[in-house]
Amino acid sequence: MSTYQATQTREQRSGVFSKSTLLLALGIFLLIAPTPDMTALAELTQNFIVSMP
């Protein structure tokens, strides 16, 4: 395996990890929030979807 392939594989793994971490954080936020503000939640979801590569 070349250095380029190893770097590319590592970047792919870190990309998956960061997406799953963001989803976990969003899930925890939804569980903790007693009565989520739907406007804020919609804005948060929209920003999250736009920021995903």
Query: Could you tell me if residue 5 is inside a domain?
Result: no
Residue 32 forms part of a structural domain = yes
Give the C-alpha separation, 51 to 23, whole Å. Answer: 12
pLDDT reported for residue 17: 63
Instruction: Read off the pLDDT of residues 1-53 as tens digits, 9 standing for 90 and up.
Output: 555 555 555 555 555 667 888 888 888 888 887 766 778 888 888 877 666 65
d(CA 14, CA 31) in angstroms, rounded, equals 26
The number of domains in the chain is: 1
In a domain, 13, yes or no: no
Predicted confidence at residue 20, as pLDDT, reads 83
* Residue 42, domain extent: 19-53
Residue 2 lies in a domain: no
In a domain, 9, yes or no: no
For residue 38, the one-letter residue type is M
